[in-house]
Structure 1
Amino acid sequence: MPKGLEVQYLTIHGHKRAFVKTGSGPALLLLHGLGCDHTTWRSVIPALARRYTVIAPDLLGHGLSDKPRADYSVGGYANGMRDLLTVLGIDKVTVAGHSFGGGVAMQFAYQFPERTERMVLVAPGGLGPEVTPAIRAITLPGFHQAMGVVTLPGVRHATKLSMKALAYSGLSKARDLDEVAEIVDSFRDPRARAAIRHVVSHCVDWRGQVVTMADRAYLTQAMPMLVVWGTEDSVIPVRHAGVAAEIAPGATVEVVGNAGHFPHKDHPQRFVKIVNDFIGSTEPAVYHRGRWRNLLRTGGQTVAGPVAAPVVRPDAAEIA
C-alpha cells in the first residue's frame, strides 16, 4: 500500500472491520474479490483519491477484518457495507466491485438503490455459471484439510515462490498467479479458510456459479453501470462481458486487451481513466420509488434500447 495510506478499524455488530479511507470528493466504494483484501486496489487508489473519497474495506472474513462464524452471503455483505458507510457518515456512493466483490456491488445496488449512484463491475461474478475449477473445488470435501497441508510453512513458501515465478514467466494463463499466491498464503489461517468456504458455498456449487443478476439486470435502466473485463481472464471468461451488454443494454462495457482477471492491476492507468471517464460522463442515479416500483412491475419491458458493443482497449505496447 502506498506510503501514508493507513488502515483504519471500526467495530460493527461486535466484529472488527478494516478499511482504508482517503481522498476527497464524491464517494467511491471499492470491493475486493474472493480471498483478496483492500490491497488488491493499491495500484489505483492514489490516482482515484485525487477525485473521489475512496473507501476500500477488507470484507468480513478477509484480510485484517475479523473472521467470525457469521453470515457470508452476498446479501449479508451488502448489509455490512451499508452499515460501514452509515457509521462513516457517507450517504451515497459509486460502488465498484471486482470478481466476487462485483456480485456484492450488484447486490448493494439492488438492496439500497437510494444509496447507490453508479455501479462499476470488474470481471464480476453473477453473469453466468462458468468459473474456474479452482473456485468450485473450495466447495468439495477435504478442501480445508488440503489447504492445511499446502499452507504448512515450508510447503507454503515453495508454493508461493512457484506461483509468482509462473506469474512473471510471460504466460498469459499464468499472469494472475501472483494474486492467487497471496490468497493461498492467507489460507494459513484456519479461520480464513472456513470463511472463504462459507462465502463460496453461498454462490458456487460443483456446476459453477448459482447467483445471477440476469433476472434483475433491467433495474440498471435506473442506474449507470460500467463493466470492465480483461481479454485474458482465466477465472471468469471474458465472454460474460457480452452477456452484460445483452442483459443490460444501457451499460458501458469495456474489454481491456492484454489483461487478466485483475485489469486494475495489469493496467492501472487505463483502469483509472476508464473509471474517470465513466463517472465524468454519467449523472448519478436519483432514486425514485415510483420509477423503481414501475420497473419491478413491468420487468423493464416498457423501456428498450440498443445493445452496447464491448469496447476493446489496445495493448499497452500500442499506447506507449
Structure 2
Amino acid sequence: MGSGPVVLLLHGLACDHTTWNPVIESLARTHTVIAPDLLGHGQSDKPRADYSVGGYANGMRDLLTVLGIDSATVVGHSFGGGVAMQFAYQYPERTERLVLVGSGGLGPDVTPAIRAITTPGFHQIMGVLSVPGLRHATTAAMRVLSRTGVTQLRDLDEVADIYDSFKDPRTRAAIRHVVRAVVDWKGQIVTMADRAYLTEAMPICVVWGADDLVIPVAHASNASALAPTARVEIIPNAGHFPHKDHPERFVKIVRDFIRTTEPAQYDRERWRELLDDGADAVLAQAEAGRSPVAPLRAVRRAAGA
C-alpha cells in the first residue's frame, strides 16, 4: 500500500499481517508499505519447511526481489524483530534501517506461554482445546477481558486471534517448528549479541511497550548497550503490541526515525574488516575506552551470547 520509501513490516509469532492494520494506512501516506504473512502464518503456505530465522530472512529477500525492490527499512515485531535482525545481517546491502518492536533476540527471557509450545504434546493438547465450542467461548472471553482496562489483560485480544488460528493443525505444526528453532526450556536461543558490532553503520530504532509481559522491557536496555547508536523509545501504557495500543505515536516514531536518518550504505570492505576483526576485538576496544560503548561482555552474557 502507498508510495515512497519502502517499509517492510514483519509480524510476530503466530500473528499475521493484520497485526499492523492500525498503522498501515497512516504509514502508507508517505511510504510504500509491505506487510506479508510470514511462511506458516496467516494466509501463507504452511509446508514442512525451513522455519529458522535465516530461512525467513531468505524468504523476505525473495519477496523484495519479486516485487522489484532493492532495499527497505525493515520493521520487526517480537519474533519478526529477530527476522529483521537476521535479514540485516545476511543482506546488509538491502537494509536501509532497522526498527525493532518488542523484539526477540535481545535476551533469553520470554513468557512461559511461548516456552510451552516446545513441550511434547503441545500439538495434541491444542487440538483438543481448539474444538469449536470451547474455542469460541474462550476467545470471546479473552476479547471481553482485553477491554476491561486492566494492564495485564490488554494483549488478550491478540492472544485470542492466535488461539483461534490454532484450529488449523497445519498452523500448530508450523508454529511449533518456529518456536523450537528459537526457544528452548531456558528461553530464547537466537541473539543479536554476537553480531551487534556489525550494525555500526545501520540506523536502529528500538520501540517497546513499558508494560510488556511477553518480552521484558529491560531488553531495550540490552539493545542500547549492544548497539549504542540505537534510538530507544519506551511507550508508556503499552504492552507487547505498542503499534496497536498507540498507533499514532508509533507511526510518528517510525516516520520521524526515517526522516532524520540516512539509509545505511553497504561498504563491502568495511564489512570484511569487521568480520575479520570479530566481535571480541570490537568489544576489547570498547572496554579500553576507544569506543563510546559501555562494557558489553556482561550484556552479551545476559543476552545469551
Counterpart code for 2:183: V
Q: Is the 8 A contact 1:250 1:306 kept in 2?
A: no
CA separation in 2, counterparts of 1:304 and 1:146? 51
Asked if residue 305 in structure 1 is aligned to residue 292 in structure 2, the reply is yes
TM-score (norm. length: structure 1): 0.88
Counterpart code for 2:139: K
CA separation in 1, counterparts of 2:164 and 2:291? 47
Corresponding residue for 1:286?
265
CA separation in 2, counterparts of 1:166 and 1:146? 24
Give runs of aligned pairs for residues 84-163 of structure 1, distance below 5 A. Answer: 84-163=63-142
Counterpart code for 2:291: A
Counterpart code for 1:237: P
Give runs of aligned pairs for residues 241-320 of structure 1, distance below 5 A. Answer: 241-298=220-277, 299=279, 300-301=282-283, 304-305=291-292
Ranked by relative contact order (alpha carbons within 8 Å, sequence separation 6 or more), the top structure is 2
Corresponding residue for 2:35?
56
CA separation in 2, counterparts of 1:52 and 1:266? 22
Counterpart code for 1:93: A
CA separation in 2, counterparts of 1:279 and 1:304? 25
Percent of residue pairs identical: 71
1:45 maps to which of 11, 21, 24: 24
Greater strand content = 1
Counterpart code for 1:195: A
Q: Is the 8 A contact 1:220 1:250 kept in 2?
A: no
CA separation in 2, counterparts of 1:306 and 1:61? 38
Q: Is the 8 A contact 1:23 1:50 kept in 2?
A: yes
Asked if residue 211 in structure 1 is aligned to residue 190 in structure 2, the reply is yes
Cα drift, residue 284 of structure 1: 0.1
User: SS at the partner of 2:208?
Assistant: strand
Counterpart code for 2:141: S
Asked if residue 168 in structure 1 is aligned to residue 155 in structure 2, the reply is no
Greater helix content = 2
Residues 253-275 of structure 1, C-alpha deviations (whole Å, 9 max, x = no match): 11110000000000000000000
CA separation in 1, counterparts of 2:155 and 2:199? 30
Corresponding residue for 2:44?
65
Cα drift, residue 305 of structure 1: 2.3
CA separation in 1, counterparts of 2:83 and 2:118? 19
CA separation in 1, counterparts of 2:27 and 2:292? 31
User: SS at the partner of 1:192?
Assistant: helix
CA separation in 1, counterparts of 2:33 and 2:291? 34
Cα drift, residue 206 of structure 1: 1.0
Cα drift, residue 297 of structure 1: 2.4
Corresponding residue for 1:313?
none
Q: Is the 8 A contact 1:229 1:256 kept in 2?
A: yes
**Gaps spanning 5+ residues in structure 2: where?**
295-305
Query: For structure 1, which segment, 210-219 or 188-197, has the greater mean C-alpha deviation from structure 2 after superposition?
Result: 210-219
CA separation in 1, counterparts of 2:43 and 2:66? 19
Residues 200-221 of structure 1, C-alpha deviations (whole Å, 9 max, x = no match): 0000011110110011111121
Cα drift, residue 152 of structure 1: 0.3
CA separation in 2, counterparts of 1:232 and 1:67? 32
Cα drift, residue 306 of structure 1: 5.6
**Gaps spanning 5+ residues in structure 1: where?**
1-21, 308-320
Residues 123-173 of structure 1, C-alpha deviations (whole Å, 9 max, x = no match): 000011100000000000111111111110000001101111221111111
User: SS at the partner of 2:179?
Assistant: helix
Number of equivalences: 286
Q: Is the 8 A contact 2:225 2:293 kept in 1?
A: no
Corresponding residue for 1:185?
164
Residues 56-86 of structure 1, C-alpha deviations (whole Å, 9 max, x = no match): 0000000000111100000000000000110
Query: For structure 1, which segment, 294-303 or 272-281, has the greater mean C-alpha deviation from structure 2 after superposition?
Result: 294-303
User: SS at the partner of 2:117?
Assistant: helix
User: SS at the partner of 1:57?
Assistant: coil
TM-score (norm. length: structure 2): 0.92
